[in-house]
């Protein structure tokens, strides 16, 4: 179940990643980032509207993200860091 309208950009990115949650007010949403083998490499709480996530400390590669509000999936996808 995907909730609201959520965008994650720019993708690919060299700098911060912007997460925008619209049409849904999360209770306790968290952005999770996983590497190719499924290890969690980053997480940060996110809120309605705009969120800037600094991923510049991570190496260039493709990772997978999921934004969850408690046990509900808001959005999932992949992000390419250059």
Residue 9 belongs to domain spanning: 5-81
Quickly tell me which residue has 């250059």 as its tokens: 82
3-state helix, strand, coil in the chain (%, to 5): 0, 60, 40
Spatial distance between the Cα atoms of 71 and 10, rounded to a whole number of angstroms? 26
Q: What is the CATH number of the domain that holds 62?
A: 2.60.40.3080
Q: Report the pLDDT value the prediction gives residue 23, as an integer from 0 to 100.
A: 86
Query: How many separate helices (H) and strands (E) can be counted in the chain?
Result: 0, 7
Q: Report the pLDDT value the prediction gives residue 3, as an integer from 0 to 100.
A: 64
User: pLDDT tens for residues 57-71?
Assistant: 999 999 999 999 999
Whether residue 1 is predicted with pLDDT greater than 60 in this model: the reply is no
Q: Report the pLDDT value the prediction gives residue 24, as an integer from 0 to 100.
A: 86
In sequence order, what are the residues at sequence separation of 6 or more whose Cβ sits closer than 8 angstroms to the Cβ of residue 45? 28, 29, 30, 31
Q: Quote the number of domains for the chain.
A: 1
User: pLDDT tens for residues 17-57?
Assistant: 999 999 888 999 999 999 999 999 999 999 999 999 999 99
């Amino acid at each position: 179940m995907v909730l609201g309208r959520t965008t994650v950009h720019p993708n690919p990115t060299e700098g911060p990643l912007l997460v925008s949650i619209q049409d849904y007010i999360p209770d306790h949403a968290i952005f999770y980032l996983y590497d190719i083998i499924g290890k969690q490499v980053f997480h940060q709480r996110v809120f309605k509207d705009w969120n800037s996530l600094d991923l510049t400390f991570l190496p260039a590669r493709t990772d997978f993200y999921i934004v969850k509000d408690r046990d509900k999936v808001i959005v999932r996808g992949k992000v390419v860091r250059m």
